[in-house]
Structure 1
Amino acid sequence: MSTTSNGSALCPDPFVPVEPAPAGSGFFLTGDRAIGIESGSVNLFVAPFDARTGQAVGTGLPIAEVEAGQLLFPVPVRFERDGTCHRLLAMPLPGTELRQSRAPWTDLVRRHEDACRPFDQFVSLLLTPFHRDMPPPRTRVITASDLESRGEFSWPAGTPFRPGQGVLWIQLHSGFCLLNGDEEQLLLAEGAAFPLVPQTWFLATDPAAVSARRTPDWLAAPDFPARFEAVFRQYLRAVLVAVAFRTQRRQRRRNLLIRHEHDVVRGVTARLRGLLQDAPSPAGPMESLGAISPDLAVIRRIARACGSTADLPVIPIESPPHPDAMSRRLEHANLFHRRIRLAGPWWKEEGPPLIAFRTDDRRPVALVHQRGQWWAFDPAEGEDRPLAPETAAAFEASALCVYPRLPSTPVRLRDVLKLAFRGLAPDLRTALGVGLLGGLVALTPSRITSTLFNTIIPTADSFQLFQMAVLLFSAAFAAALFELSRSLFMLRVKTRANDQLQAAVWGRLLNLPAGFFSRFSAGDLAQRVMGVDAMRAMLADHVSLAAMALLFALPNLGLMLYYNRVLAGAGLLILLLYAALLAAIGALQYVNQREEYHRDGRLSGFALQAITGMAKIRMSISENRAFAKWARLFAEKVEWKSRSIRNRNTLAVLGSVFPAAAMGLFFLLIGTRWKGAGLNTGDYLAFHAAFTALAAAFTGFAAVIPSLLATVALYKRLEPVLDAAPEINDSQKSPGDMDGNVEMRNVTFRYHPDLPPVLRDITLHAAPGEFIAIVGPSGAGKSTIARLLLGLETPESGGIYYGGIDLATVNRRELRQKIGTVLQSGHLLQASIYDNIAGASGMSMDDAWEAARLAGCDADIRAMPMGMHTLVTNSAVSGGQRQRLLIARALARHPRIILFDEATSALDNETQARVADRLERLNATRIVIAHRLSTIQRADRIYVLDAGRIVQTGPFDELLRQPGLFHRLAQRQQL
């Protein structure tokens, strides 16, 4: 409110002419005149001075800055303590110009209603030091309708309450109340009064009876001067007490951080000393660094077990750890997890890393399965210890199962393999060792064949023949055992690798920005991600077995060289020629597989779209066109699949011809005197047996080349998911407890660099507890603003801030969890009503009913056959019921910020009014995007958007009186 405009509103001009403020000199807010700030600004302090001499002592406590256009009101009250008085001091900045009111300020605000608003602004600024503590989610809000119907309230003990809008003067008739629920700020006793703004609140410590008044009603009381003096004496005392306690807490925190820094340095020093002594501590450096907080230390241990290097904060947590807090910490560390139940002798079975909680004090413990047993890391002990059955029995049944993740940077093949085989090195070494032993045992038949035909059969030695038979049987039995052992170890490897990799890839997909998903259809993207399982099946079930069989058959090459180097060289030559032929066919096969998967992805994407949009296809009578498009995509897929089948048939023919061609070559060489001389029958048969084993392994590997090439094609299809940068990375910080302050500064946005901007230089602001609305014609950019506020899109220029923190620097997933959102494209899950409201939050049934009550759908739910357990879908409820269920879901977590985009468009006026009344009582900032203007009549501020620009701003009634777009929109809706 500018004093110049006030001059016209309060005619005749109630202020004296402008006078420049003396530079560098402050003044106490005494006397009885109001002071208007014409230009510049004034800083307010609670200044100490000596009660006897009047000289300033110490430094003043900053309160707020009063800007041009606002008024200063006298506060002729001082608070004395230990010979020092404190009172409000105004310190004008250089260049500030002031005007003083002609009449006392009490006459000014009583005679002119327009003066009450700057007085409320002044009181709100004085309460700035108490704006730092946020009201609890279930704070009772005193609305304008409450003040009209009743001004007296009775609150049960433990009830927090605050005003919905503006300044309310609270008079306590009985009981006690704590300002901001903190005894270190102000305890309001019976008979006392104190102002509240939406950013402050009272907590009734006992059953309390209070009265609430607006400023005009409070000023009209006959005992106003005495009330005024008592209120601001309490105010000065509360400011000093709050600052004193804040200083003590800051000092305690500083001392705590110093002690923690010493602990960190001591832990790192011990780690370095252990490295020099070649005896590192079992817990590793991460636990020593994280020992300042039990839950952070546990997460660090789990992150190390999962191969993650999450940049976790080292600030200690003061509240006691519990499963929900641990879940939030894991989300901040970008580690996916789920809640499981520990039942039976679970410690006897293998499993992924777990976070369990002790039954006695709910202290978290990290559980990692290594070296064939479970190991427990307790932050109190600082090291891994084997998990004993009695220790396992002392854990709560509910635990958190943590999954590994891929790096936040673009992922390469080595990263994928490193994650897939993490912790599997012992199993792989065992499988390779057992397979190698089996390969050596497989040489036995070749050697026995040579002995049989060279020695035993010519001499007709039946006893040696029996011995050879027993030896062959033993070798076959040993080879079978080795193969069984190898298969079991490989089964463990491929199962664990698949679990780790599949979870990590899905976690990667869920972390990608929203813009990524517009590049692919849902069916195509699902096939790309599920290709991980197909790759695992091909590699583990076919390629790995064939490759290991070839590796273990290589000792036969040594046996071939032992018997005849010429034949061995010929065998190697034909194998190399066969390999070159396979490589040529494989290159063609790779192209075929790649195109086949590409067509299959497009076909799956279209099929999913057609099934989900079947109602639209039938309404537009487009069945024939849909079938024609499906048939074309299916024909393209079959064409490339046929080419792949022909290549596989060619490989099969070559595989059957190869052994006969190799044998013919050997016969040709043996039949030539100058090359085949000196090779007897037994040696040739032994050579042939060794070559047959090697050739069988080689042709077996050739048979799986199509599978190997298919995995390459599948990995190429997966590369866009791995190369895309996630929207969440380790450098982002948690948004913390949000205060409800939202701001967009000079935001410009376009969906594509070649397209014109959708939004141009958008600036808007919502203070905590405010209700702002965004209106405009279709295509103006309203929904784009919602997507930007949710972090689903990134602005081209400008910034978005929550509580003063740049959206680009915070974890957007955590941020969206703290915002109650209903978008115009929202859908219900095919699940029960409770599951639709609660989601994965695990809230109680009572909390779900409370959310349904706030959304105005509790009566409809009770009328359903199974209440909260009724199964619903989008088509099973009306549009209004769907929107109210979506509103209930948004309100279930008691968010500090509510964002509605056409959330009540399907509601009738009466239901919409009920929902609006309940939303007004919530302790949350509301941002509503609507076409229907009746939805936003109660908004504190309305932003009118047109062609991507804000063209009007103001309250509903003010905009309605002004000519412009809003007035035209209102006229159209009134017709």
Structure 2
Amino acid sequence: MTGPLGFTWRSIRRPATLGLALWSLVQAIPTAISGLAVARALDEGFLAGKPMVGAAWLAAFVGGSLVGAVGARQLYRGLGSLVEPFRDDLVRRVVGGALRRSVAGEADDGAVARLTRQVEIVRDSYAGLLVVVLSFAATAAGVAVGLASVAPAMVVLILPPFLLGVGLFAGTLGLASRRHRESMYADERLATVAGTVLAGTRDVAACGAEDEAAAMVERPIATQAAAERALARVAALRTLCFAIGGWLPLLVLLAGGPWLVSRGLSAGAILGGLTYVLFGLQSTLRTLMNALGDTGVRYIVTLRRILSTGAAFSEPPRRAEVGAGAPPDLAVRGLTFAYGPQADPVLSDLDLTVPYGTHLAIVGPSGIGKSTLAGLLCGLLRPGEGAVELGGVPVESLAPSQLASLRVLIPQEAYVFAGTVLENVSYLNPDVSPVELANAAGAVGAEPLLARLGGLHAEIDPGGLSAGERQLIALVRAYVSPAPVVVLDEATCHLDPVAEERAEEAFGRRPGTLIVIAHRISSARRARQVLVLDGSKAALGTHDTLLETSTLYRDLFGHWAGVNWPDYTARHSTRA
């Protein structure tokens, strides 16, 4: 099964749907007992001269209504477990399709509308249709059980015409979808032609071309009118289906009254059957037809549009693992990366080896590709050519859970979420002890901040923190993580030089590999190795060797340190 219906069927999460179906049955309890309560209240209560018995049956119906209200509440509360994953999948399709077209150089003016409006239309319609269909099935089942409890003979009279009406209505849905789509296209064509003619009204009047202008819009108007008449015919078919499924059972029950009485059915039983038809079957069938005939058609048409413009985003299977005990060295082999097939490479044919335990600084002019390289090293971006290996395994082949346990990246804009301090600093290592957290906070210089916030169990207001305070919390989070590779992408740029030095030296003492995207020259001077990116090639060495061999590094050093390089060279040469 393909198309919108196939996509909808595949998106249904069976366990969650089963739970909603059970609550739908609870919601249908008032309808299921309504006819039975009426029949018993009359036959065993009021008509038998026992008003208290009749009142008790009506009270039971009221109690069932309260239980049904609880079921309805739980039904709507549980919708999120189905609706939100469905919406997330649609968003991934819309964004993925738009990005693919953008990379291919194709314009996609409707992407924002699909993301903001059409996805929400489909989401809301999906939720409504799900509730209606489940409630319809539960109500129909409840009515069938109730009728069988009152008088099995009425099941034979009432359910066949009801099911016939439902089946005929289901057969019109495909036609309704086509007619709705044709009407939408006809309306769009008429709007386009009419807009063209109206924009040239002065020219039409000046040239006396009224007849030609009328002829231009005559055919689109006729097409649009024919499409509207076709929609009206579909609505008439829906009315006929409701008459068969909703009113015919009532007529059959009334016409079969003498036969039912001859079989010993009481007045209360027949009135109970009428209650099931009027307040059970008719009501739920009307709701179903309105929902599927209007919302359902809009859902199908809009979802088809989304599916036609976006393909499913899927990650390739990741099964590789870094062997236990293997040193997680980083190796870059022939790495080339560009943001799109027509774009110039940000990195080109880069080779780099970062043995475990290395402290590496990456420097270069702004926009040269330092953060891009950080994303590639951490597996957040995929190389166009070449590979990035961690522990001898390509990072894109690692399962996300193991990749997360091997490396941690702290970007320049550190993320802090609403919650406690403990939740923010420990979610990369839920088993971390309070002592380890205290040691980490002391090491990176976050102790005063945590004390000011009120300790580990204090609530954090992210908007009330400065950029530097958010960076300190992120640094504690990275420090206590189990990852042996830490990448700090200008993660200390909002700290003062003293605080930055303290944090970087703490990570330098931490077991493992440290890669720093350098914001200040002091970061590069603290590193054992420095990688200089200049857009066409890269240079690797120590601070001292790069001062001798890399013109770009000398320029960067002079800019950062505020020195004149020729004077600096002459002074140091004289001292030598």
When normalised by structure 1's length, the TM-score is: 0.39
State the one-letter code of the partner of 1:779. G
Query: Residues 364-391 of structure 1, C-alpha deviation per residue, up to 9 Å, x if partnerless?
Result: xxxxxxxxxxxxxxxxxxxxxxxxxxxx
- Contact 1:553–1:694 under 8 Å retained in 2: yes
State the one-letter code of the partner of 1:954. G
- Contact 1:436–1:552 under 8 Å retained in 2: yes
Partner of 2:134: 544
Q: Are positions 1:559 and 2:150 aligned together?
A: no
Query: Residues 697-756 of structure 1, C-alpha deviation per residue, up to 9 Å, x if partnerless?
Result: 532422333454576579779979996445474635467566341111111122223333
Query: Residues 459-483 of structure 1, C-alpha deviation per residue, up to 9 Å, x if partnerless?
Result: xxx99x957999x979x87995998
Cα distance, 1:957 vs structure 2: 0.6
Classify 1:561/1:936 alpha carbon distance in 2 versus 1 (closer, same or farther; 3 Å): closer
* 518, 540, 558: which one aligns with 1:971: 558
* 932, 939, 955: which one aligns with 2:542: 955
Q: What's the secondary structure of 2:12's corresponding residue?
A: helix
- Contact 1:747–1:795 under 8 Å retained in 2: yes
* 433, 454, 478: which one aligns with 1:844: 433
Q: Are positions 1:800 and 2:385 aligned together?
A: no
- Contact 1:774–1:930 under 8 Å retained in 2: yes
- Contact 1:774–1:944 under 8 Å retained in 2: yes
Classify 1:967/1:744 alpha carbon distance in 2 versus 1 (closer, same or farther; 3 Å): same
Partner of 1:916: 504
Q: What's the secondary structure of 2:327's corresponding residue?
A: coil
- Contact 1:861–1:867 under 8 Å retained in 2: yes
Tell me the number of residue pairs that the alignment of Structure 1 and Structure 2 aligns. 469
Q: What's the secondary structure of 1:952's corresponding residue?
A: strand
Query: Residues 67-92 of structure 1, C-alpha deviation per residue, up to 9 Å, x if partnerless?
Result: xxxxxxxxxxxxxxxxxxxxxxxxxx
Cα distance, 1:515 vs structure 2: 7.4
**Rg: which structure is higher?**
1
Q: Are positions 1:766 and 2:354 aligned together?
A: yes
* 513, 519, 523: which one aligns with 1:925: 513
State the one-letter code of the partner of 1:801. E
Cα distance, 1:874 vs structure 2: 5.1
* 877, 881, 904: which one aligns with 2:492: 904
Alignment of 1:838-917 (within 5 A): 838-839=426-427, 841-842=429-430, 843-862=432-451, 864=452, 866-869=454-457, 871-873=459-461, 875-917=463-505
Alignment of 1:24-35 (within 5 A): none
Question: How far apart in 1 are the matches of 2:70 and 2:178?
Answer: 30
Classify 1:509/1:433 alpha carbon distance in 2 versus 1 (closer, same or farther; 3 Å): closer
* 173, 176, 183: which one aligns with 1:584: 176
Cα distance, 1:801 vs structure 2: 0.9
Question: How far apart in 2 are the matches of 1:810 and 1:578?
Answer: 48
Q: Are positions 1:783 and 2:375 aligned together?
A: no
Classify 1:576/1:915 alpha carbon distance in 2 versus 1 (closer, same or farther; 3 Å): closer
State the one-letter code of the partner of 2:336. T
Question: How far apart in 2 are the matches of 1:918 and 1:573?
Answer: 75
Cα distance, 1:804 vs structure 2: 1.0
* 814, 818, 822: which one aligns with 2:406: 818
State the one-letter code of the partner of 1:584. A
Question: How far apart in 2 are the matches of 1:844 and 1:517?
Answer: 45
- Contact 2:32–2:143 under 8 Å retained in 1: no
Partner of 1:744: 332
Question: How far apart in 1 are the matches of 2:454 and 2:508?
Answer: 31
Segments of 5+ residues of structure 2 without an aligned counterpart are 1-5, 101-110, 148-153, 185-230, 262-269, 563-576
Question: How far apart in 2 are the matches of 1:891 and 1:751?
Answer: 32
State the one-letter code of the partner of 1:850. N
State the one-letter code of the partner of 2:437. A
Alignment of 1:242-641 (within 5 A): 412-417=7-12, 419-420=14-15, 466=47, 494=75, 498=79, 501=82, 535-536=126-127, 538-540=129-131, 542-549=132-139, 558-559=156-157, 580=172, 584=176, 588=180
Classify 1:437/1:586 alpha carbon distance in 2 versus 1 (closer, same or farther; 3 Å): farther
Classify 1:577/1:861 alpha carbon distance in 2 versus 1 (closer, same or farther; 3 Å): closer
Query: Residues 87-133 of structure 1, C-alpha deviation per residue, up to 9 Å, x if partnerless?
Result: xxxxxxxxxxxxxxxxxxxxxxxxxxxxxxxxxxxxxxxxxxxxxxx
Whichever structure has more helix as a proportion of its residues is: 2
Partner of 2:193: none
- Contact 2:97–2:311 under 8 Å retained in 1: no
Query: Residues 667-722 of structure 1, C-alpha deviation per residue, up to 9 Å, x if partnerless?
Result: 9xx9xxxxxxxx89967998995986765553242233345457657977997999
Cα distance, 1:770 vs structure 2: 0.8
- Contact 1:421–1:493 under 8 Å retained in 2: no
Question: How far apart in 1 are the matches of 2:331 and 2:418?
Answer: 36
Question: How far apart in 2 are the matches of 1:422 and 1:855?
Answer: 48
Q: Are positions 1:937 and 2:525 aligned together?
A: yes
Classify 1:527/1:859 alpha carbon distance in 2 versus 1 (closer, same or farther; 3 Å): farther
Alignment of 1:186-201 (within 5 A): none
- Contact 2:97–2:310 under 8 Å retained in 1: no
Cα distance, 1:945 vs structure 2: 1.2
Classify 1:586/1:878 alpha carbon distance in 2 versus 1 (closer, same or farther; 3 Å): same
Cα distance, 1:941 vs structure 2: 2.2
Question: How far apart in 2 are the matches of 1:749 and 1:583?
Answer: 50
State the one-letter code of the partner of 1:539. L
Question: How far apart in 2 are the matches of 1:663 and 1:865?
Answer: 68
Question: How far apart in 2 are the matches of 1:795 and 1:817?
Answer: 21
- Contact 1:851–1:891 under 8 Å retained in 2: yes
Question: How far apart in 2 are the matches of 1:969 and 1:878?
Answer: 29
Question: How far apart in 2 are the matches of 1:789 and 1:915?
Answer: 22
RMSD, aligned CA: 6.1
Question: How far apart in 2 are the matches of 1:680 and 1:423?
Answer: 38
Question: How far apart in 2 are the matches of 1:868 and 1:574?
Answer: 60
Question: How far apart in 2 are the matches of 1:440 and 1:780?
Answer: 76
Question: How far apart in 2 are the matches of 1:578 and 1:894?
Answer: 57
Question: How far apart in 2 are the matches of 1:911 and 1:553?
Answer: 72
Whichever structure has more strand as a proportion of its residues is: 1
Partner of 1:704: 291
Query: Residues 429-484 of structure 1, C-alpha deviation per residue, up to 9 Å, x if partnerless?
Result: 98899999879979989xx9xxxxxxxxxxxxx99x957999x979x879959987
Segments of 5+ residues of structure 1 without an aligned counterpart are 1-410, 449-461, 563-567, 593-646, 671-678
Alignment of 1:94-243 (within 5 A): none
Question: How far apart in 1 are the matches of 2:358 and 2:124?
Answer: 49
Classify 1:699/1:907 alpha carbon distance in 2 versus 1 (closer, same or farther; 3 Å): closer
State the one-letter code of the partner of 1:546. F
Question: How far apart in 2 are the matches of 1:505 and 1:582?
Answer: 23
Classify 1:488/1:851 alpha carbon distance in 2 versus 1 (closer, same or farther; 3 Å): same
State the one-letter code of the partner of 1:887. L
Q: What's the secondary structure of 1:935's corresponding residue?
A: helix
Cα distance, 1:766 vs structure 2: 0.7
Q: What's the secondary structure of 2:387's corresponding residue?
A: strand
State the one-letter code of the partner of 1:739. P
Q: What's the secondary structure of 1:942's corresponding residue?
A: strand
- Contact 2:27–2:68 under 8 Å retained in 1: no
Partner of 1:629: none
Alignment of 1:683-722 (within 5 A): 695-705=282-292, 706-709=294-297
